[in-house]
Structure 1
Amino acid sequence: MSWDPYASLGVSRTATADEIRRAYRSLAKELHPDVRPNDKVAEDKFKRATAAFNLLSDPVTKQRFDRGEIDADGNERMAFNSRPRQQGARQHAGAGAGPGAGAGAGPGADAFDLGDIFSDLFGPGFGGAGRGGYGRMRGRDMRFTLEIDFLDSINGARRRISLAEGRTLDVAIPAGVETGQVLRLKNQGGPGVQGGPAGDALVELNVRPHAFFRREGQDVHMDLNISLTEAVEGAKIQAPTPGGPVTLTIPAGSNTGKTLRLKGKGVAGQGDQFVRLQVVLPENVDDDLKKFVKKWPKRDYTPTRPAG
C-alpha cells in the first residue's frame, strides 16, 4: 500500500500551497541531518517529508496524485500502449514533474525552490544541499505498461512511445521477451532535485496473443491445415514461422495429429517450431469424392476411438 504524502507533512488533503511550504520548513528545521546527525530515524523522516514536498508543491503532480493518476512515489497508475489509439493515453502517461522533478521543475506557477527553503533555514551559501547533500535527490522512477505484438516479442523490435508532456521514448524490445517482463530505461524517468540524477522509466511488457502461433518456453507451436490429397500423397508447402514462411515437407500418409519439427525456428532462433497437421476435407464434397470413397477397398480404416 502506498504511503500518504499528506500524512508525512502533517497536513490535510485540503492544505494550501503556503500550508504545505510551512509544514515542510518546520520538519526540515527539525529533522535535517545537519541538525540531527547520526539519527537514522530522523533522516528517514526527512527524506520522506522531502519526497512528499516535491510531490505536493508542484500543482501539476499534486492534482494528478489527488485524482489517483499517480501514486505517492510518482508511479503511473494508468497504463498505455503503442497502438494507434494511444492519443487518449497521452493524458495519463508520465508527467514531466513529480516527486523527482523537484521545486520549480514542473509547469506549476506556485512551485517552490528547495534551495531557497534551505538557505532560509540554514543561512546563505547552504545551496539546498547541506553538508550531507540531502537537498540533492534522485528523480522518481516512472512506470508504464506497453502492449507489443507476439512477433515483436519473438524477434525483437523498436517502438516509440509518447509521454504526456510531449516527450518521446524509443524502446528497444529484445528478442524473446515475455508478458510481465520489465525494461528499465535509465535516466528516462522524472528529473532529479537540485541537480540530482534523473530516475528511470520502467516499462512492463504485455504480449498480445497471435492468431495461430503460441509459445511454450523457447518453442513455438501451431496447427496447420492440409488437404486430403496432401496428406495421402505428401507435398511440399509453405508454412509460416515467426521469421517468415519456409518450405515444409509433408510425408505421404500423414494423418491429423502428426507433428513436424522446424529446427531453430522458435524464440529468437534458439527454440524450435512444432507444426501439428490437421487434415481438412473440402467444404463442399463433390460427387467425384463421394464415388471415390464408395470404391475405397473395404478394409478396416476405422480410427481407434476412446471407449464410452
Structure 2
Amino acid sequence: MSKRDYYEVLGVSRDASEADIKKAYRRVAMKHHPDRNPGDKASEDRFKEANEAFEVLSDANKKARYDQYGHAGMEGQAGGHGAGDFGDIFGDIFGDIFGGGGRGGRSGVRKGADLRYNLELDLEEAVRGTTVKIRIPTTVSCETCDGSGAKKGSAPITCSTCNGMGQVRMQQGFFSVQQACPRCHGSGKQIKDPCGSCHGRGQVEEQKTLSVKVPAGVDDGDRIRLTGEGQAGSQGGPAGDLYVQVHIRPHKLFVRDGRDLHCEIPISFVDAALGGELEVPTLDGRVKLKIPAETQTGKLFRLRGKGVTSVRGGGPGDLLCRVALETPVKLTKRQKELLQEFQTIGDNEGNKQSPKKSSWFDGVKKFVDDLRA
C-alpha cells in the first residue's frame, strides 16, 4: 500500500512553520499513542505513521529532500526508528508538558550552559587585532568533593524514588509519559551528607580572568568562541562555551561599513571653487587628497586600499571621503565687503556660474505658474 503524504498525515500545509509541524505532531501522537489505545492496531499504525512524518518534516535537510523528491527521496532515510524508540522520541516532544526528562535526563550528565561576554573595542583595536584580559563570573566543579556534591569520605546513594533510573512514569488517565525524577532531577542519586563547600550542588561560583585574542579585522557583532570556558557541567558533564560578543565604540572620524571606512571632510568654499590639496587622516597616517576646482558639496572621493582588511579574508577596503562645504562665520567688515562684491560680479555673469541655483529657481517659477493656470 502506498504511503500517505507526510503533510497530510500531520494535517499541515507545505509552508507550515517548524512550530506548526511540532504542534500538529503532538496533536496526532496524543490521539493515537499506544498507551492511550491499548490493543488498537489502527491507532498504533497511525502513531508510527505520524512519528515517521515528524522525523522527516522536523529535519530541514530531510524536509527539503522530501519536498523535492517525495517518498522516493526518503528511501533509506525515514522510518529508521524501531518500535522501542517511539517512547524516547515521544518523550522528547512531550517532556515540556510534564516538566522535562527526555533522553538526557536518565544519567543526569549535562553539558554546562554557554555564557556570553560583551567586549567593547576601539576601531583601531578591531582593525589591527589585540589581546585583552576579561574577568567573568562562572561556576566550576567543586574541588572539595570532585563535583559529586557529597561530603568528602561519603558518596551519593541510589535515589529511593526512581531506584536509580533517573526517571519516573507519570500517568494522566490513559496517557503516560516518562519524566525526570523530581527527587534526584534525573541523576539517579541522592546526597544524604552534602559537601560543605558546594552544599550538595557539586559546583561553586568564582571569578576567573581569561586572555582573549582578538583577530585583526573583526567587526561589530562578531563572536569569538572560547571552548570550555562556560558554566561547568553537572555530574561530570563537559563545560559550556564562552562567546565573546564584539562591540565597536563610535569613532570620532570614521564610520565602518564592512571593509570600507567613511569620513566627512569640511572644506572652505574657496578650496572648493579654486581647488587645492588637503591632508586627510587614515588608520595608517595622513595622506594627500587633491581637490579639483569647482568641487560641489557632497562630492565623494575614494582612497583605494585605505579601508579595513576583514577577518574573513580578502583585500583591504577603501576610505570614502565626502566633502562638506563650510560656510565661514564671524566675518570681518572687509570680508563682507569682498563677498558682496563677489556676489555682484556673479549676478552680472548670469546663470553660467550657478547653473543648479538658476535651474532650481526656474523650476520653482514654472511650478507656481502651473498652479495659477
Structure 2 length-normalised TM: 0.43
Structure showing greater Rg: 2
1:95 aligns with 2:137: yes
- What is the rounded CA distance, in whole Å, between the counterparts of 2:248 and 2:156 in structure 1? 47
- What is the rounded CA distance, in whole Å, between the counterparts of 2:306 and 2:144 in structure 1? 49
Deviations 1:37-76 (A, max 9, x none): 988468973524766x879xxxxxxxxxxxxxxxxx6355
Deviations 1:172-201 (A, max 9, x none): 223333333221112322345566544321
**Which structure is higher in RCO with an 8 Å CA cutoff and minimum separation 6?**
2
Q: Post-superposition shift, 1:264? A: 0.6
Contact 1:186 1:201 in 2 (8 A): yes
Q: Post-superposition shift, 1:274? A: 0.9
1:166 aligns with 2:212: no
- What is the rounded CA distance, in whole Å, between the counterparts of 2:328 and 2:253 in structure 1? 21
1:179 to 210, 220, 225: 220
Contact 1:95 1:165 in 2 (8 A): yes
Contact 2:307 2:318 in 1 (8 A): yes
1:302 aligns with 2:354: yes
2:155 to 113, 116, 130: 116
- What is the rounded CA distance, in whole Å, between the counterparts of 2:270 and 2:103 in structure 1? 78
Contact 1:185 1:201 in 2 (8 A): yes
Q: Please name the residue that 1:284 is paired with.
A: 330
2:267 to 217, 223, 226: 226
Structure 1 length-normalised TM: 0.50
Task: Give the letter for the 2:137 counterpart.
Answer: A
Deviations 1:256-301 (A, max 9, x none): 1221111011122611111011121322122333232333333233
- What is the rounded CA distance, in whole Å, between the counterparts of 1:49 and 1:292 in structure 2? 90
SS in 2 for 1:188: coil
1:211 aligns with 2:252: yes
Aligned length: 200
Q: Please name the residue that 2:126 is paired with.
A: none
SS in 2 for 1:167: strand
Q: Please name the residue that 1:28 is paired with.
A: none
**Percent sequence identity over aligned pairs:** 29
Contact 1:175 1:267 in 2 (8 A): no
Contact 1:232 1:253 in 2 (8 A): yes
- What is the rounded CA distance, in whole Å, between the counterparts of 1:272 and 1:232 in structure 2? 26
1:273 to 304, 313, 319: 319
For structure 1, list consecutive stretches of 5 or more residues without a partner in the other structure. Answer: 1-36, 56-72, 84-92, 123-133, 136-163
1:45 aligns with 2:106: no
- What is the rounded CA distance, in whole Å, between the counterparts of 2:114 and 2:239 in structure 1? 14
SS in 2 for 1:288: helix
Task: Give the letter for the 2:269 counterpart.
Answer: L
Q: Please name the residue that 2:291 is paired with.
A: 250
- What is the rounded CA distance, in whole Å, between the counterparts of 2:150 and 2:136 in structure 1? 21
- What is the rounded CA distance, in whole Å, between the counterparts of 2:150 and 2:138 in structure 1? 16
Cα distance, 1:171–1:244 mapped onto 2, change above 3 Å: farther
- What is the rounded CA distance, in whole Å, between the counterparts of 2:321 and 2:208 in structure 1? 44
Contact 2:303 2:320 in 1 (8 A): yes
SS in 2 for 1:295: helix
SS in 1 for 2:156: helix
- What is the rounded CA distance, in whole Å, between the counterparts of 2:219 and 2:255 in structure 1? 12
Cα distance, 1:271–1:75 mapped onto 2, change above 3 Å: same
Task: Give the letter for the 1:295 counterpart.
Answer: E
For structure 2, list consecutive stretches of 5 or more residues without a partner in the other structure. Answer: 1-83, 93-100, 122-134, 165-185, 188-204, 310-314, 365-373
Alignment of 1:40-79 (within 5 A): 40=88, 45=102, 47-48=104-105, 74-76=113-115
Contact 1:222 1:274 in 2 (8 A): yes
Backbone CA RMSD of aligned residues: 4.3
- What is the rounded CA distance, in whole Å, between the counterparts of 1:48 and 1:82 in structure 2? 38
Bigger fraction of residues in strand: 2
SS in 2 for 1:267: coil
Q: Please name the residue that 1:138 is paired with.
A: none
- What is the rounded CA distance, in whole Å, between the counterparts of 1:105 and 1:82 in structure 2? 33
Q: Post-superposition shift, 1:94? A: 4.5
SS in 1 for 2:137: coil
- What is the rounded CA distance, in whole Å, between the counterparts of 2:103 and 2:288 in structure 1? 66
Task: Give the letter for the 1:262 counterpart.
Answer: L
Cα distance, 1:229–1:106 mapped onto 2, change above 3 Å: farther
